[in-house]
Amino acid sequence: MNPLRRRALSATVLLLATAAACAPGPPKSSADVPGPPHPGAASPAGAGGAVSRRGFTLVASGDVLPHDSVISRAADDAGGEGYDFRPMLAGVKPVVSGADLAICHMETVYGEEGGPYTGYPAFTSPPEIARALRDTGYDSCSTASNHTLDDGTAGVRRTLGALDRAGVRHTGSARSAAEAARPALLRAGGARVAQLAYTYDTNGYPLPDGQPWAVGLLDERKIVADARAARKAGADVVVVSLHWGTEWETAPDEKQLSLGRKLTASRTNGRPDIDLILGTHAHVPQAYEKVNGTWIIYGMGDQIAGTMVNDSGEHDPRGNQGSIGRFTFAPPAAAGERWPVKKAEFIPQLMDTEAGRVINLPEAVRREPDRDDYQEARSAISAAVLGRGAAGDGLTMGR
> DSSP alpha helices (H): ranges in 213-304?
220-232, 254-265
Query: pLDDT tens digits for 102-113?
Result: 999 999 999 999
Query: pLDDT tens digits for 155-171?
Result: 999 999 999 999 999 99
Euclidean distance between CA atoms 101 and 85, whole angstroms: 21
Euclidean distance between CA atoms 228 and 238, whole angstroms: 9
DSSP state, residue 309: B
Q: Say what the pLDDT of residue 374 is.
A: 97
Helix, strand or coil for residue 374? helix
Euclidean distance between CA atoms 214 and 129, whole angstroms: 22
Euclidean distance between CA atoms 124 and 128, whole angstroms: 12
Contact criterion met (CB below 8 Å) for 40 and 100: yes
Q: 302 forms bridges with which residues in the sheet? A: 63
Q: Say what the pLDDT of residue 19 is.
A: 33
Q: Is the pLDDT at 6 greater than 60, yes or no?
A: no
Choice among 6-15, 46-55, 62-71, 115-124 with the minimum mean pLDDT: 6-15
Q: Say what the pLDDT of residue 33 is.
A: 38
Angle between helices 152-166 and 128-136 (to 10 degrees): 40
Distances (CA, A) of 385 to 197, 251, 367: 22, 10, 23
Rounded mean pLDDT of 305-312? 95
Query: pLDDT tens digits for 57-96?
Result: 999 999 999 999 999 999 999 998 999 999 999 999 999 9
- 188 — pLDDT class (breaks 50, 70, 90): very high
Topology (CATH level 3) of domain 19-397: Purple Acid Phosphatase; chain A, domain 2 (3.60.21)
Burial of 228 (0-12, 13-18, 19+ CB in 10 A): middle
Q: Say what the pLDDT of residue 43 is.
A: 44
Q: Is 204 left (phi over 0), alpha (psi -120 to 50) or beta?
A: left
What is the chain's length?
399
For the chain, give every domain's residue range. Answer: 19-397
H/E stretch holding 131 reads: helix 128-136
Q: Say what the pLDDT of residue 44 is.
A: 43
Which residue type occupies 78? A
Question: Within the chain, what is the greatest distance between any pair of CA atoms?
Answer: 57
Q: Which of 351, 364, 368, 344 is nearest to 278 (CA)?
A: 344
Query: pLDDT tens digits for 219-254?
Result: 999 999 999 999 999 999 999 999 999 999 999 999
Q: Kindly write down the DSSP assignment for every residue of 49-99, as one continuous string.
A: SSPP---EEEEEEEEE---HHHHHHHHHHTTTSS---HHHHGGGHHHHHTS
Q: Which of 301, 298, 330 is nearest to 316 (CA)?
A: 301
